[in-house]
Amino acid sequence: MAVKVRNDFYKTVANEHLIKTGAAAEQPKTRAWLASLGKKTWTWRRWGVAVLVAASLAVAVISCGTFTGTVVEPPQIAGATFVGSQNCEQCHQEIYRKFKTSDHARLQAKGKNAENIGCESCHGPGSLHTQSGGLARTIINPRRDPETCFQCHLEKRGNFSLPYHHPLEEGRVSCADCHNPHEGRAINGGYTAHASINDACFKCHTEQRGPHIFEHEAMREGCTTCHNPHGSVNQKMLVSRNAELCLKCHYQQQTTAGQIMIGNFVHQGAGRDFLQRGTCWSAGCHEAVHGSQVNSHLRF
């Protein structure tokens, strides 16, 4: 898997950085135009622009009233202010020490004003928590509140609202079940060790673990070859709803007209109509996609 750099995260960090330095983003063009309002004489063209601006502002205000989109802002705790990660060290030494190796620590903004981006970017401002010596309900625990992750990983909120998803909002699964926020790679196992991505899944899905007498080698590529762990439009969170799912590995060059071979076996044509009966994993076919105890062709 390629390492993708998602600009929106940096934007969030950068915005926070701006807010803290007080260097709020200024829009020179708008400013100049606004300043000119008081000075120049009002031509018809300027009236036209003014009316247009007013109209689009009105539309924006109306649509804001009905729009339930996300607003990107750091987590809030009433009455609390940011104290900086160093303050957490005295009581959470172990986490503080390991945190330096974590994806999130390595990717935080650097510089004088970046001190607050760290523990508190996920846990919210820590002054009340610190002063009270760690009183309950004075700090956010993202295990119970994924909102704190959504502020930067906006698209994940969308994934988890797809028709088939892990029951996260329902409180039965947490981002922290599959991701390590404090240490090393945020994706368990990182990009190469798919075995450990699978391990994260086996914690709860023991049935797929095996051992199977007839293993399906696809499992070595990792569960995410076939499942989107965050959510999908397809049943069982599959990345594809039809034979495409399997043919990306089992594609075979066809040599005889009117016949479809898969795995060196005629599936369609010459009196067979296997592909019309349903998906590859439908009843009577390769139902044991994760591995079988009885049949090398992955059947029950």
Residue closest to ligand HEC when measured from CB atoms: 134
Whose tokens are 């625990």? That residue is 141
Which residue type does 131 have? Q
Q: CB nearer to ligand HEC: give 5 or 24.
A: 5
Which residue type does 37 have? L
CB of 36 vs ligand HEC, minimal distance in Å: 38
Kindly report the three-state secondary structure assignment for every residue of 209-247. HCCCCEECHHHHHCHHHCECCCEECCHHHECCCCCHHHH
Q: CB nearer to ligand HEC: give 79 or 198.
A: 198
Burial 171-185 (b: 16+ CB within 10 A, else e): eebbbebbbbbbbeb
CB of 243 vs ligand HEC, minimal distance in Å: 8
Give Cβ neighbours of residue 61 (< 8 Å, ≥ 6 apart). none
CB of 256 vs ligand HEC, minimal distance in Å: 19
Dihedrals phi, psi of 101, to nearest 5 degrees: -90, -5
Q: CB nearer to ligand HEC: give 210 or 269.
A: 210
CB of 37 vs ligand HEC, minimal distance in Å: 38
Q: CB nearer to ligand HEC: give 41 or 264.
A: 264
CB of 131 vs ligand HEC, minimal distance in Å: 8
Q: CB nearer to ligand HEC: give 37 or 147.
A: 147
End-to-end CA distance of the chain: 33
Length of the chain: 300
Q: CB nearer to ligand HEC: give 31 or 203.
A: 203
Proportion of the chain in helix, strand, coil states, percent, rounded to 5: 40, 5, 50
Separation of alpha carbons 288 and 291, rounded Å: 5
Q: CB nearer to ligand HEC: give 49 or 107.
A: 107
CB of 61 vs ligand HEC, minimal distance in Å: 29
